[in-house]
Every structure is written in structure tokens, then in C-alpha cells.
Amino acid sequence: MSQVAAASGSEVKSALSQLEQLKRFTKVVADTGDFATLKEYTPADATTNPSLILKAAQMPSYRGLLERAIADSRKSTLAGQALLDHIMDELLVLFGVEILKIVPGRVSTETDASLSFDTPALVNKARRFISLYQQNNIPRERVLIKIASTWEGIRAAEVLQKEGINCNLTLLFSLVQAAACAEAKAKLISPFVGRILDWFKAKTGRDYTPLEDPGVVSVKEIYGYFKKYGYATEVMGASFRSKGEVLELVGCDALTISPNLLHELKESTDQVTRKLSPEMAQGVKIERIPLNEANFRWLLNENAMATDKLSEGIRLFNADATKLQQYISALL
């Protein structure tokens, strides 16, 4: 989405690509498990999820990581489902370790979607991931544990943050989820832009410009709320459907972007304009949300889109995790 020159009506060009311009205002994060993509676009951080790892694990170039995870896990006395769970944990961390050899910052590693409503299990899984990373000489500061933004997931993040284990609260579709994460002092949240748009397009049957895109509007609201009330939690827009959505959120703390959109940004030299800043957010008119479990559940329930997309996202991630386990089981 280029900026239009008032005088001539022509597109304003820059010596830098849109990707490089974006990096001046926002931390660029790659939403991929593919190492070649990370090397090409040089993001600060990287995020993964079960869907991305499933795709990567089936590629010949990553077969070695899968074989290593299987070999390491076979040294244990585990069998059956316990062995599969062990291999999955090893594989996710091995991908993370390799990613951290490329990116200078952090990697997000996702907890099991099936644990989304089990606070103690999420805490234990996060501790397990951090232990595996430490065995590979990766300090916890370079790892974000991804947890679904359920009430139970947010409570797990609250426990983990007190232990110095940083969390990325994902599958986030509403202000009440975001506010609860901030109150729990989560390190980072990932509001999903594209999936919100998908829901509204399906319901209304209409298209939206990037400026009026419901997912973009949601992230702007969350960003404004956080900056207005002084929350330290980072806002990282995720799940983009178009370059236009990305460019409407320039200035957000971070944006995690898929390889195809990173390519589009790299290929264009149209001018990029900052749309968000802490200073701009101070004038936002938005009331603080009173938070407790009952109010959280009620407000989430009243938001049909967020309720639908949260439950759907958990199901989809769990389905891909199951497919990955089945793939590993066949190799065993």
C-alpha cells in the first residue's frame, strides 16, 4: 500500500525496500519454521506453531532434525504416547535451537493445544521446554513460550513470568483477552489480524480495505489500550492476509509476517508511513476493563467472533499436532 504524492499523484519511492523501512519502526518477526526464509529476510525474531513445524518436518532438508529427536528420545525408557510426546518436545526445541542460530533475538515455541484449559500442565510443559533449551545452551531470555489466550493459559503465563519464563499469548482475538494478558504481565501477545478478517468476511459477505479491516482495528485498539495504561506487555500483530494489513500497523511493537508477505515487502520501495506510536495512543478514549474470571468469561462469551476463532484455533493447532505425531509414529 503506497503513499500518494499530493502534488503529482505519483507513488513516493524510497531507496529502501518496504521491509527495511518497516524495520525502522517495528520489530519484524518471521512466521515460519523454514531456515532459508529466515536467512533471506533477516528478521529479529521468529515464531513457530504446530502447523508450521508439521510442514517443515516433512521436508527432506529437515529430516535430520526429526531423526535426531527420535534418537534422543529412544534413549529414555518411555513407550507409547509418552514416547511420542517426548519426541514432539525434542523436535520443537531442536527447530528452535536451529532458528536461534540465524535470528539474533527470540524464538517462540508453542505448547500443546490440548493443554489449553489446564494451567498446571501448561506450566510443566513450559518448564520442560526451557530445560531442553538450557541443555542446548540456550538461555531462557531467548525463548518465548506460546500459550493460547484462554483464562487457564493466562493464569499459566502469570506463574511462568514470575519464574522468569517469558510467554507469548497466542490465539488472541479480543481486547478482554489482551487486557487479561497484560494484567498477568505476559511478555508478549499475538493478536490475530487475518483470522478476525476471515470471520467478518464470512459473516458479512463483503470485502474490507486495510484501514477498515476489523483485525487491524482490533490490534490498534489493543495497542492504544496498552500504551494509554502503561502496560509493558509487547503487542505483536500476527496472521496477516495482505501487505496492506501489515502497513496499517507500522509502529506496532512487533509484527510476525509470513514468507510470502515478507517477499512482497522486500520487492517494493513504496514509502512506508508510521501509523502507531506510544505518543499517538495517549489520546485514545477507551475505558479500563475490570478483570476477574467471571468478567473475562462473560466478555469473551459476548464476543461471538473471539469465541469462535479461539475455539477453532485450538482445534486446528491440535489437529496439526496430531498429524505430526502420526507422521513421527509411522517413522518409529
- The C-alpha atoms of residue 1 and residue 264 are separated, in whole angstroms, by 11
The C-alpha atoms of residue 256 and residue 281 are separated, in whole angstroms, by 21
Q: Rounded CA gap, 94 and 177, in Å?
A: 30
Dist. CA 74–CA 332, nearest whole Å: 10
Catalytic one among 23, 27, 146, 275? 146
- Identify whether the C-beta of residue 103 lies closer than 8 Å to the C-beta of residue 29: no
User: What CA–CA distance (Å, rounded) separates 45 from 107?
Assistant: 6
Chain centre distance of CA 307: 18
How many Cβ atoms sit within 10 Å of the Cβ of residue 297?
A: 13
Is 228 considered catalytic here? no
Burial 233-255 (b: 16+ CB within 10 A, else e): bbbbbbbbbbbbbbbbbbbbbbb
Catalytic residues, by residue number, are 146
